[in-house]
Structure 1
Amino acid sequence: MLTTKSFIKKNKIGNVLKNIREHYLRNDIFCGFDICERCSPANSYLSSTHVNNCSLFLYNHYIILDTNVILDQMDILDENVIGNVIILHTVLQEVKNRSLPMYKRLRSVIENPSRHFYVFANDHHKDCYLPQEETELINDYNDRCIRKACLWYMEHIREARFVFITDDNANRQRALSENIISVSVKDYVTHLDKAQFLEDKLAKHDFHVKVDAEGLFPPHCSTFQIHNGIKESRLYQATYHASRDNYLEGFAMVDGFEDSILLQGRSGQNRAVDGDIVAIELLNQNEWVAPSEMILEDESIADTSLEDALKKEDELKTVTHKKKGDVKPTGRVVGIIRRKWRQYCGILQQDGSDTSVYQLFVPADKKIPKIRIETRQAAALRSQKIIVAIDSWPCHSRYPNGHFVRALGKIGDQSTENEVVLLEHDVPHNQFSEEVLSCLPKLPWIITDEDVEARVDLRHIDICSVDPPGCTDIDDALHCRPIDDGNLEVGVHIADVSHFIRPGTAIDLEAAKRATTVYLVNKRIDMVPELLSSNLCSLRGGEERFAFSCIWIMDKKANILHTRFHKSIIKSKKAMTYEEAQITIDDKNRNDSIALSLRNLNMLAKILKRRRLENGALVLASPEVKIQMDSETMDPIDVEVKKLFETNSMVEEFMLLANISVAEKILASFPDCAMLRRHPEPPSTNFEPLIKAGKHLGFDIRIDTGKNLAVSLDAAVRDDNPYFNTMLRILATRCMLQAIYFPSGMYQKNEFFHYGLAVPLYTHFTSPIRRYADIIVHRLLAVSIGADATYPDLLDKRKSNHLCQNLNYRNRMAQYAGRASIAFNTHLFFRGKIQDEEGYVLYIRKNAIQILIPKYGLECTLYLAQKGEKSAFFEYNEEDQNQSCGNIVLHAFDPVTVRLSLDSNNIQHEKFTLQLVSPYIEGFSVPPLNKPSRKQKLEDTGSKSPPEAKRKKKSRKH
């Protein structure tokens, strides 16, 4: 049956246009009940044996939900206690349109047979369909369709009882007037079995508690006001980012603005949560201020009173308004365009009362404010890491309101902390589904004659891999051999993962969603199942494997004479660690084919690296640490900075060269849809800390080109501080923007440039076991050489762009997750330890000094005063960026000795605390461990302390 509806409207020039919509209706759509004799039977998970135990009703019943119940109360619907739920197609589509994450969660529940959910296509059923009235709002229309479907079910299946759950009071009253049994979510849930636990999971948009202050935050603009303001350029759409160092500051990134907009204080941030899309009003230029140089991260953790918080905000305004030299564009949040709220991991505030139903939740992420929740399980949850969701943030409440979702496990337990790291960084880490595992090849897997015929057989070549110790997902292998004309044949052989992962399959979709393998200290979250990652795709020594080979003919000056690509079969002669490969190169008694191959590769790599650096490639630095774990207890037993060998650089150079060669090939074949990687040039404002630090120490850091920056960094060397240049490079690294994946058709060619590598074209080809981007590049390369067929999505630049956005996001989250795992295990290692360590000043702040401890790759804060107080010892020089105490002056990059210990008083946010050992300042510094203090020495000898002026040390010259 076909129903049509016509719409008459006029266009801009006055012509009348007729728009006809067609809607197909059927009378054979299954209702979902196996007892029904009128409908054509189909699959349905509704169950005649499942019982919904709600004491409001003395009979078993089926549930029909409205849209907002699903959007707001998905945490309740995830519970097994609720079943036999009919999801109307009208509701399902509205959920999909309004929240894709909620839609995906709902679909997973619907597809679980044990949950007994059923989707009924009411909008295509001839007895349930209702045409929308011309003046009817879409929400009213959907409500009317839902009630119509309820009435139809009541008439159609008279043997069953139905309950309509909605939190819309008006809709509920209309339903009751039509004799539809209807209740609110809260009324229904509080009368279920185990209601005392389920009530905690109810999303709450209004807390009936005393408000913190009248009008604590300014009201938000309406959607209409925001749209008009953006249209008239009075307001700007931006992404809000909270500061990690100062909870009273945030920043907004606006497209088209070179610099971020500073948002300061209560009114400036106005209830924005990190990641929200907000509407920003730019203040008049005479109201712009400078960012604070104070570190106030602890204030957001401690339970300070509202009066103290407001006082601190006023102090901050006074300080930053005085600084007019470094002002930034300053604005305030006037509205929320789209919330980016997610579920947050953390703990209940430890000093809360177990008898109170209202609790404060402290998120693990310091950028997220505390959340007020309602729970009846406070005593049990106090020792647990839990998950909480935000529901609302009224303007009269200091904290957002939220609800408890679930407990993760005991605080401090390693498996719990791993789970927190993965959840906080949105890392997909569920077990691979049966559908995904069914895509794997059956064992034993063998190479057939057909495979050999379709590939280039390189099993006779002496190929080897060089990787970190313990690596099982070996992506790449290398070879180098002399050829007849005195040149060298060099090969990079990459695991052919795309052979096993075909486009559109379940394993392909899962790999695309995960996007990357995530490495934690004692755990790896694979992008693809272990059978592939550690076995069939891993280029293990002595095993025959499929590869995708990039082979160059080079002269001995590393000039490329010819390049070819082909799918191949290889047999790696040996899987080596970086250290083993280095020993082989250095052992002059070793002259076998592998040793000669490695020496030639190393010789060529040095030439390639020198040439790259001459072209302006940057050598940056970041402290990377390695944590040694006890093999039995899996506790950290040592923390050390990773050792680097020449062979690390050797492998890196050939991976870079392969990526560049492949990028050139796929762009030539696919000018609009090649997946490339670009590294944008940072805005000049990003380099201000680097320039300022160099200037104070007598070095001119030039940033007009990447080449000049590289030259400046090379020249910045000090004989009295061997770590100085590394420190400067660490600072330069933090000025950089993130490199991103993109399809070539979405940018102009001059925007393809990779700033850090100083190359016009780059991609990722060399790690397909752990990066999905490389799988796409393999497919593009295979098509370009005729080794595989294309498919529509591969050539769709818009779909590729959407894929790249996910890849960039997942890659960033994987990096953060890895760092968080290292931080947690470093804390475990230092628990109960107190030791003196050599460090270097990294940043000078107004109330603190940030210090890098190279031995452990740690960056810690040495506070110079108690919170809210002025230092009694140090004087901050804003102009010269130093802290002085008498003749002792501390600048950036100065060496210091500090006492390092772990403060575990706040179990949610353990932190390292530092005390200054050297230079020694009487009354502030502490004596070296196991050495008597100056005061003790004087007491032992019976001497008196000399006058203050004589105790001051001479300042160091720079």
Structure 2
Amino acid sequence: MFSTRAFIKKNKVGNYLKNIREHYIRDDIFCGLESCKSCEVLDTSLTGGFNNKNNLFKFNHYIILDTNIILDQIDILEEDVFGNVIILHTVLKEVKHRSLPVYKRLMSIIENPTRHFYIFTNDHHKDTYINQEKGELINDFNDRCIRKACTWYMKHMPNEKFVLITDDRGNRNTARNEKIKTCTITDYVKNLENSKHLQDKLARKDFHTVVDSDDFYPPHLPTVDIIQGIKDGSLHQGTFRASTSNFLEASVNVDEFEEPVIVQGRAGLNRAVDGDFVAIKILSKDEWISPSDIILEDESVTEGVDEVLEKEKVLKKTQKKANAQPTGMVVGIVRRKWRQYCGILQPSNMDGLFHLFVPADRKIPKVRIETRQAEFLRTQKIIVAIDTWPRHSRYPTGHFVRALGKIGDQATENEVVLLEHDVPHSKFSEEVLSFLPKLPWTIKEGDIAARVDLRGLDICSVDPPGCTDIDDALHCREIEDDKLEVGVHIADVSHFIRPGNALDIEASNRATTVYLVNNRIDMVPVLLSSNLCSLRGGEERFAFSCVWIMDKEANILETRFHKSIIKSKKAMTYEEAQMVIDDKHQVHSIAQSLRNLNSLAKILKRGRLDKGALVLASPEVKILMDSETHDPISVEAKKLFETNSMVEEFMLLANISVAQKILKEFPECALLRRHPTPPPNNFDPLVKAGNHLGFAIKIDSGKNLAASLDEAIREDNPFLNTMLRILATRCMMQAVYFSSGMYQKDEYFHYGLAVPLYTHFTSPIRRYADIIVHRLLAVAIGADCTYPDLLDKHKSTDLCKNLNYRNRMAQYAGRASVAFNTHLFFRGKLQDEEGYVLFVKKNALQILIPKYGLECTLYISEEGKTSPFTYDEDHQTQTAGDIVLHAFDPVIVRLTLDSKNIQHEKFILQLVKPHIEGFSIAPLTEMETKHKLTEIESGKKNKKQKKS
């Protein structure tokens, strides 16, 4: 059966066209109830064995939900107190249209048979399908569809009871008139047995209980005015990025301006949250300012507004007109980017149920929530979701989602890091695992025949200590005519992960392996990552090989690619490989291979640098863990060997060679990686710092920048050059994946590497981008067949967006894990350390402590207190008497960890040297240091004894 609707439209030439739409309806759709005698009974999750008990309705019943209940209250619907729930197909489609994340969460509930949720296809059932009336709003039509389904169920199964849950007052009133039993979600939850903790999870859109001010923020413009303003150019839109060092400042990236637009103060920020897509009004040019050079932390836990008003006054006093950037104010929210946030609970100064939640992410404002279990939750790391932000309230309002675990527990903190950075980390599903090879796995003769057999070559891998996911291995051997054959052999992960299956979909979503301190979140199951794909020493493995014929000056004479089978002779660490190279007594084939590789790598690197490749730096550290307590026992800067650079050079060369091949074969859909040239203003901090030090940092080209950095050396400050390179790193744009068909060729350039073409091929165990590149290369050399999505540049672009996002989040998660464990290491410690001034601010110095890779704030002035320092904005200096502090000056600071704020522990710095009367403190004596170390060691012993 089908329903037809005809539409008459007049076309451009004046003719009338009849457009007929057909909608198929059926009379054999199962209602989902086991007890039904009139439908053909099929599989259903609805069961007579589950009772919905509620004091509001004294009978067992089935629940029908409207769309907004699912969108707003998915957190509470995930509680197992809800069962025998009928999800109408009309509602399901609307949820999917309006929020894909909520749709996925809903589907995971529906697919769980223990939850007893059932999808009823009401829009194709002959008795529940209805036409949309002319002029009827879509919301009204959907409500009518829902009520129609409710009344049909009541007639279809008169012995069963059905309850419609909706928060729409008009829909409820109409439903009651139609004799449908209905209530709000709040009333339904409040009348559940033992519902106190459930009430905390209710999302509330109408918080008017707590008021900070009648007009704390300006009103947002109506949507119609925002759309018109953007259309006529009076308003602009962009992504809101909150400052990490000043809670009263943010920036908005707007396409029409080269520089980000600055927004400051309550009125300027106007309830935008980091990540929101906002509408802004640009102020007149005489109101433009430059970014603030003071650090303002929102440390208040009270509900009063006095502190924020005082800090706003401080901000206004320090506004600068020099080097002003476009400045504006948020006038509306185009699209919220709210998510669930991790953090801790702190009580407000209000009595009763209202409390403040402090997010782990400093860029997110505190959130006011209502809870009946505050005493317990204050001991826990918890998750909270934002519901709304009324303009009369200093803080947004939200609701409690769930507790993660005890504050300070290492497993809990790891979970927070993963959740805060949106890292998929659940166990691999049974469906995903079903696509893994069955054990015992053996290489079949047919697989060998299709590959080049390289098992006889002296291939070895060189990786960090403890590496189990070995992606790459190398070989180098002399051949005739004084030539060298050099091979990069990469794990053939694409052999095991086939396009479109559940394993492939999961890997594409995860996109990358995430490395935390003492933990790793794999992109693919461990059977592949640490076993069948890992190029372990002494084991036969499938590989994808890139092989060059070179002369001894590293000139490439020939390049070939092939699928291969290899047997690595040895898996070494960087340090072990370096020892083999340096030990002249070792003359075996692996040693000769490594020495040749090292010699070629030095030539390759010199050639890259001559072309303008940058050598940048970042303060990376390695954390050593106690094997019993799993506490950090040492934090030290990572050591680099020549072999680090050796491996890097050949991985870069392989990536470049593969990029050339796949672009030649697939000019419209090759997956490549680009690094955009930074706009000149990005380099302002670097250029200013160089000028103050007497160095001219040239930024007109990457080659000139590299040369300028090489020349910026001072014998009296050996770390200065490294700090300049750290600063240069922060001036860079993010390198990103892209599909070749979406950009012009001159945009393919990789600025940092100074190469016109680049991709990722060498790490398919831990990067999904490399798997796609492997597939493209395999098709290009005839080693595998293609599939539609691989050659679709638009789908490739969507994939790249996810790859770029996941890659960025993985980096942030890794840094957050290092920061947490560094804090653990420093708890209870008191020590003096060498550091360097990295930035000079109006009220503080940013100090870099290279030994621990730490960047901390040394406050030198506070509001209301006399400071011995005078700030020179033009020269970026702080002067106290005869002492002048510039960027990159060496200092000695006292380093302690302030743990009073459990959520945001921070390092407290005090100046030891240079000595400034009335400000600096005396160095620690040897006796004080020994006494402190004894206390720490005693505490560690006690902890171990408790564990045992």
Instruction: Give the TM-score category using the shorter length.
Output: over 0.9
1:690 to partner: Cα distance? 0.4
**What's the counterpart of residue 165 of structure 1?**
165
Q: Which runs of 5+ in 2 are unaligned?
A: 929-948
Secondary structure, in 3 states, of the residue corresponding to 2:324? coil
In the aligned structure 2, how far is the partner of 1:103 from the partner of 1:795? Answer: 29
Aligned residue runs from structure 1 range 612-627, under 5 A = 612-627=608-623
| Amino acid of the structure 1 residue aligned with 2:821 | N
Structure 1 residue 6, shift from structure 2 partner = 2.2
Structure 2 equivalent of residue 656 of structure 1: 652
Are the structure 2 counterparts of residues 816 and 635 from structure 1 closer, same or farther at C-alpha, using a change threshold of 3 Å?
same
* SS of corresponding position for 2:734: coil
Alpha-carbon distance in 1 for matches of 2:730, 2:17: 57
Q: Distance in 2 between matches of 1:73 and 1:839?
A: 50
Counting only pairs closer than 5 Å after superposition, residues 689-838 of structure 1 correspond to structure 2 as 689-838=685-834
Counterpart amino acid of residue 880 in structure 1: H
The answer as to whether partners of 1:254 and 1:260 remain within 8 angstroms in 2 is: yes
1:249 aligned partner, one-letter code: E
Matched, 1:873 2:868: yes
Q: Distance in 1 between matches of 2:823 and 2:806?
A: 26
CA distance in structure 1 between the aligned counterparts of 2:117 and 2:43, rounded to whole angstroms: 11
**2:206 match:** 206
1:839 pairs with one of 818, 822, 835:
835
Query: After the TM superposition, which of the residue ranges 460-469 and 919-928 deviates more from structure 2?
Result: 919-928
Q: CA deviation at 1:17?
A: 4.3
Secondary structure, aligned partner of 1:913: strand
CA contact (8 A) 2:47 2:84 kept: yes
Query: Which residue does 2:326 correspond to in 1?
Result: 329
Structure 1 residues 471, 870: CA separation in 2 closer, same or farther (over 3 Å shift)?
same
Other-structure match for 1:555: 551
- Alignment-derived partner of residue 949 in structure 1: none
Query: How much does 1:484 deviate?
Result: 1.3
- Name the counterpart of 2:181: 181
Match of 2:934 in 1: none
CA 1:88 to 1:149, structure 2 compared with 1: closer, same or farther past 3 Å?
Answer: same
Is the 2:384–2:398 contact (alpha carbons within 8 Å) kept by the matching residues of 1? Answer: yes
2:417 equivalent to 1:425: no
Between the aligned partners of 1:459 and 1:155, the Cα distance in structure 2 is 73
Q: Which runs of 5+ in 1 are unaligned?
A: 934-958
Aligned to 2:676: 680
Residue 894 in 1 paired to residue 889 in 2?
yes
Partner of residue 902, structure 2:
907
> In 1, are the aligned partners of 2:301 and 2:348 still within 8 Å (CA)?
no
Q: Relative to structure 1, is the Cα distance of residues 117 and 566 closer, same or farther in structure 2, using a 3 angstrom cutoff?
A: same
Alignment pair present for 1:393 and 2:374 = no
The letter of the residue matching 2:155 is E
Please give the secondary structure, in 2, of the residue aligned with 1:783: helix
Partner deviation per Cα, 1:543-593 (whole Å, 9 max, x = no partner): 000000000000000000000000000000000000000000000000000
What is the match of residue 632 of structure 2?
Answer: 636
Structure 2 residue 43 is the aligned partner of structure 1 residue 43 = yes
Distance 2:816 2:8 in 1: 59
Q: Is the 8 A contact 2:345 2:378 kept in 1?
A: yes
Deviation at 1:175, TM superposition (A): 0.2
Distance in 1, matches of 2:224 and 2:825, equals 54
Amino acid in structure 2 at the alignment position of 1:274: D
Q: Deviations over 1:630-678 (max 9, x none)?
A: 1121110000000000000000000000000000000001001100000
Verify the 8 A CA contact 2:303 2:349 in the aligned structure 1: no
Name the Cα RMSD after superposition: 1.3
Matched, 1:916 2:911: yes
What CA distance in whole angstroms lies between the structure 1 residues aligned with 2:17 and 2:263? 48
How much does 1:865 deviate?
Answer: 2.1
Write the distance in 1 (CA, Å) between the matches of 2:14 and 2:810: 55
State how far apart, in whole Å, the 1-side matches of 2:740 and 2:866 are. Answer: 54
Which string of whole-angstrom CA distances, capped at 9 and with x for unpartnered residues, describes residues 869-918 of structure 1?
A: 35521110001000000110000000000000100010000001100000
Distance in 2, matches of 1:10 and 1:739, equals 50
Q: Which amino acid aligns with 1:318?
A: K
2:243 corresponds to 1:243 = yes
CA distance in 1, matches of 2:302, 2:697: 43
Q: Are 2:59 and 1:59 aligned?
A: yes
Shift in Å at residue 11 of structure 1?
Answer: 5.1
Task: Name 1:885's counterpart in structure 2.
Answer: 880
In the alignment, the residues of structure 1 paired with residue 366 and residue 717 of structure 2 have an alpha-carbon distance, to the nearest angstrom, of: 43
- Map of 2:342 onto structure 1: 345
Provide Cα deviations, 1:702-750, integer angstroms capped at 9, x if missing partner: 1111111111111111111000000000000000011000010111111
Structure 1 match to 2:479:
483
Specify whether residues 384 and 557 from structure 1 end up closer, same or farther in structure 2 by C-alpha distance, changes over 3 A only.
same
Say if 1:706 and 1:758, in contact at 8 Å, map to a contact too.
Answer: yes
Give the secondary structure class of the aligned counterpart of 1:73: helix
Q: Which residue of 1 aligns with 2:28?
A: 28
Name the SS of the counterpart of 2:159 in structure 1: coil
Task: Please report the TM-score for the alignment, with normalisation by the length of structure 2.
Answer: 0.97
Q: Aligned equivalents of 1:871 and 1:860: distance in 2?
A: 22
Q: Does 1:545 align with 2:541?
A: yes
- For residue 362 of structure 2, what is the aligned residue in structure 1? 366
Cα distance in 2 between the residues matched to 1:614 and 1:42:
72
Task: Give the Cα–Cα distance (whole angstroms) in 2 for the partners of residues 894 and 502 of structure 1.
Answer: 55
How far apart, CA to CA, are the structure 2 residues paired with 1:872 and 1:441?
68
TM-score normalised by the chain length of structure 1: 0.96
Query: Take 2:295 and 2:157, find their aligned partners in 1: how far apart are those partners?
Result: 65
Written as runs of structure 1 = structure 2, the 5 A alignment for 1:179-578 is 179-297=179-297, 299-300=298-299, 302-303=301-302, 305-320=304-319, 323-349=320-346, 356-578=352-574
Q: Indicate the residue corresponding to 2:4 in structure 1.
A: 4
- Equivalent residue of 1:459, what SS? coil
Counterpart residue identity of residue 338, structure 2:
W
1:104 aligns with 2:110: no
Q: Is the 8 A contact 1:247 1:300 kept in 2?
A: no
Deviates more, 1:250-259 or 1:692-701: 250-259
Distance of aligned partners of 1:693 and 1:304 in 2 relative to their CA distance in 1, 3 Å threshold:
farther
Amino acid paired to 1:691:
V
Number of aligned pairs?
Answer: 928
Q: CA deviation at 1:40?
A: 2.3
Question: Conserved in 1, the CA contact under 8 Å of 2:301 and 2:346?
Answer: no
Partner-residue secondary structure (3-state), 1:725: helix
- In structure 2, how many angstroms separate the alpha carbons of the residues matched to 1:658 and 1:83? 55
Structure 1 position 33, deviation (Å): 1.2
Deviation string, structure 1 residues 424-459 (Cα, Å, up to 9, x no partner): 000000000000111110111111111110100000
In structure 1, C-alpha distance between the alignment counterparts of 2:481 and 2:60, rounded to whole Å: 87
- In structure 1, C-alpha distance between the alignment counterparts of 2:699 and 2:303, rounded to whole Å: 43
Contact 1:864 1:871 survives alignment (8 Å): no
- Name the SS of the counterpart of 1:79 in structure 2: coil
Secondary structure class of the residue paired with 1:55: coil
Return closer, same or farther for 1:870/1:292 CA change in 2, 3 Å cut-off. farther
* Structure 1 residues 303 and 875: CA distance shift in structure 2, 3 A: farther
SS at match of 1:909: coil
Match of 1:120 in 2: 120
Distance 1:901 1:597 in 2: 48
Quick one: which of 663, 666, 671 aligns to 1:667? 663
Q: Once structures 1 and 2 are overlaid, which stretch shifts more, 841-850 or 153-162?
A: 153-162
Write the letter of the residue equivalent to 2:312: E
**In 2, distance between residues paired with 1:375 and 1:758?**
56
Structure 1 contact 300–369 (Cα < 8 Å) conserved:
no
- Taking the aligned partners of 1:506 and 1:522, their CA distance within structure 2 comes to 28
SS state at 2:322 partner: coil
